[in-house]
Amino acid sequence: MVFASLEFLTLFLPLFLLVYAAVPASWRNAVLMFSSWIFYGWWSPLLLLLFIALILVGWIGGMAIDNTRTERQRMLMLTAFIAINLSVLCWYKYANILVETFNQVLAWSGAMPVPWQKIALPIGLSFIVLQSISYLIDVQRRVVPADRSLVNFGAYQAMFVHLIAGPIIRYDWVARELRERTVDWPQFTQGARRFMIGFGMKALIADTLSPLVQTAFSLSAPTFVDAWLGCFAYSLQLFFDFAGYSAMAIGLGLMLGFHFPENFNHPYLAASIQDFWRRWHLSLSSWLRDYLYIPLGGNRKGEVRTYVNLLLTMAIAGLWHGGDNWNYLLWGIAHGLALAGTRLWGHASLPEPPAVLSRVLTLLFVMLAWTLFRAHSFGSALDMYAGQFGLNGYALGDALRVQLRPAHLMAMVLGVLCIVYPAVDAWLARGGRPALLRAWDGAWPVAGFLLGFSLIASRGAVPFLYFQF
């Protein structure tokens, strides 16, 4: 079950909201926790047991660390419970690719491959583990006390509103609202508006572009137009799918009385690669900074160590994104090199490029990196790069010509308009917002939601790209 599905919109969400509103405030965390278990178990009842076990590990781990007096013992306890979380993540995420790589090595040497049945990756596992680790570290650092209530902690860790694809919510951000929160009509309507905006981003743009992207990245010899059309469509699909989910999660949180931080801040308008990571997947960027980059030494141990820390942090970020091929690791290393190169450029006092050129070059790099991120394999990525550099001709290929529809072009145009709209809107608002614009602000989320609902009713739900991360 996903947010952009008929089951969620017409069955799960209405029933949940009715129960949530009807019960006393003291029962709402229990309703939220058990409803989240139903939401998760809808996909796999068996893996729900793993999900509950991880919640228990986090809850017990927090209390064990909090009850330990010496710093050395607290660190040992922290290491043990982080190891449990990472072991589960590594098993489900990387066992397949490691065995596959090992079997390839065996094949090259003429040996028989190891028999292996692929393991299915539980939905949202990466986000669950990162949340648990951040909580355990914050307890060890005494940023937050351990939560003694299993229901409160379970509601935090299991919360279906952001469970599958973030934002990655730190316990400290919602600790007060877990104990006491206000649910009122103005906040509920504000949350509903955010949910409808995110739903429209997902259903109208991301899902519409999905078949076009699938075709483009399946071509063995894409032309220049094929490769760049597929890359551009995927850049839009990924942003509107992921940012759309985040908007829906933030909206649902508001409807329930929680205030989650923004997860995207117009990343495709970034002026540099550092600026991109200050705008893209903000909850992950801040997690990597606070729980990985800074503990590694950050920029406090000299320039060479800073570059090593940047590369290592982004490589780990790439590995976290996926384990079905090594492209994600290479994508992370590419971003690490770009961050290090940009830092080196600034420290060398070289002239800054013009603002427009800097934004164009940043977006171009991001899109080229997305090609590696999306490709099925490294060989497939090389095929796309060959097309992007014109090695297979320039005209639109037959496969994409057959696939391409006016709806795809409309979705791409709509996506571009949504990306540049904030800058245009800020310019229009300098003299005060006209009445027509204020009316439009209230109408377009509802119109987008209704149109998106009609689309998923006719073509079915499309899973989120981060559904199994």
233 and 321 share a domain? yes
For residue 285, what are its two tokens? 């960027």
Read off the pLDDT band of 439 (50, 70, 90): low
- Within a domain: residue 346? yes
Same domain, 163 and 228: no
The Cα–Cα gap between 194 and 104 comes to 47
Q: Which residues lie below 8 Å from residue 407, measured CB to CB, with a gap of 6+?
A: 208
Domain final residue, candidates 165, 183, 201? 183
Q: Both 438 and 293 in a single domain? A: yes
DSSP notation for 16-85: HHHHHHHS-GGGHHHHHHHHHHHHHHHH-HHHHHHHHHHHHHHHHHHHHHHT--SHHHHHHHHHHHHHHH
**Cα 83 to Cα 72: distance, rounded to the nearest angstrom:** 16
Q: What is the pLDDT of residues 102-115, one digit of tens each?
A: 888 888 888 888 88
Residue 206 DSSP one-character state: I
State the average pLDDT over residues 130-135.
96
Reported residue count of the chain is 469
Do 77 and 208 fall within a single domain? Answer: no
**Do 394 and 388 form a contact (C-beta atoms < 8 A)?**
no
In this structure, the number of other CB atoms found within 10 A of the CB of residue 174 comes to 20
Average pLDDT over residues 63-73: 92
Closest CA to 341 of 274, 294, 286: 274
In this structure, are 123 and 160 located in the same domain?
yes
**What's the CA dihedral at 412, 416, 417, 422 to 10 degrees?**
150
Shared domain for 235 and 349, answered yes or no, is yes
Q: Assess whether pLDDT exceeds 70 at residue 120.
A: yes
Q: List the domain range (segments joined by +) for residue 438.
A: 188-459
Q: Is residue 246 part of a domain?
A: yes
Highest averaged pLDDT of the listed ranges 103-107, 133-137, 316-320? 133-137
Residue that finishes a domain, picked among 131, 148, 183: 183
Q: Which of 149, 183, 217 is the last residue of a domain?
A: 183
Same domain for 237 and 133: no
pLDDT of residue 436: 60
Residue recorded with tokens 């060959």: 386
Confidence grade of residue 438 (pLDDT, cut at 50, 70, 90) = low
Instruction: Let me know whether 349 and 438 are in one domain.
Output: yes
Residue 469 belongs to a domain: no
Catalytic annotation, residues = 321
CA atoms within 13 A on the CB side of 349: 0
Asked if residue 145 lies in contact with residue 113, where contact means CB atoms within 8 angstroms, the answer is no
In a domain, 468, yes or no: no
Domain total for the chain? 2
Same domain for 386 and 371: yes
Q: Are residues 197 and 329 in the same domain?
A: yes
Q: Are residues 254 and 328 in the same domain?
A: yes
Rounded CA-CA distance 314/336 in Å is 5
Phi, psi of 393 (to 5 degrees): 90, 175
Rounded to whole angstroms, how far apart are CA atoms 386 and 381? 9
Do the domain assignments include residue 464? Answer: no
- For the chain, give the percent of residues with pLDDT over 90: 69
Mean pLDDT score of the chain, rounded to an integer?
91
Give residue for tokens 């986090």: 58
339 with 194, same domain: the answer is yes
> Considering the domain boundaries, does residue 330 fall inside one?
yes
